[in-house]
Amino acid sequence: MIEVKNVKKRYLTKTAIEHITVNIPKGGITGLVGENGSGKSTFLKILAGLVRPTKGTVLVDGNVVSRRLADRIAYLSEQDTFYSFYRVKELVAFYETQFRDFNKERAEELISFMKLDLNSKIKTLSKGNRGRLKIVLTLARDAPVLLLDEPLSGLDPMVRDSIVKSLISFIDLERQTVLITTHEINEMEPLFDRVIAIKNGQILGMADSEEIRDQEGLTIVDWMKKKYE
């Protein structure tokens, strides 16, 4: 599904990632874990076509990734990128005009699930509700690939819980391929079908979550720590 071949990204004098080669199969949820500055966000931006690699190739279903593949890749940024003057319902209507795969009925179902008010102005929403809204707009797309950059970052436990439940309830895990970067590994671990550890811009390992637990007898946090040694 996603093929990454010898990818490197360099910003002026700093190398963000290098020598990355990995194949992520179709379907399920893959966790990308690592410390701050390890290259997780850069890797996701390259997969989304937002950043061009300095070297190497990235393919999705055999197609070279670029912004032209935006109709096949839904990307959730860690940063807020909303137009603050919109109301929630107006933002939903705007997204419907921008993405052919945007499912308005699912968006409204997600809004109800997340307990958001369609008439609320974006600028009045709390950080937690803005986090919920970002998830709504991403999961409402029928894109084959979903890339979520730190979806739980800075959110309180109740918001995190609703977001985790939405990831289980509103994703077609057989058809959609999901890649999530997160520091909240303990909360996200039950969702992961597989996990990739990254450090200093290089991949240390990739494994199925069940194998980590059943064969190695480790949690994903312990597995990551072992890879970091």
CATH number at 111 reads 3.40.50.300
pLDDT, position 29? 96
Look at residue 89 and tell me whether its pLDDT is greater than 80.
Answer: yes
Backbone angles phi, psi at 78, to 5 degrees: -65, -25
Q: How far apart are CA 131 and CA 37, in angstroms?
A: 22
The answer to whether the beta carbons of residues 143 and 74 sit under 8 Å apart is yes
Give the per-residue pLDDT at 93: 96
Share of the chain above pLDDT 90, in %: 78
- State how many domains the chain has: 1
177 has a pLDDT exceeding 90: yes
Residues 7/46, Cβ–Cβ less than 8 Å: yes
Helix, strand, or coil (residue 152): coil
Please name every residue paired with 198 in a beta bridge, in sequence order, or none if there are none: 203
Give the domain extent around 10.
2-228
Q: With 80 as the cut, is the pLDDT of residue 81 above it?
A: no
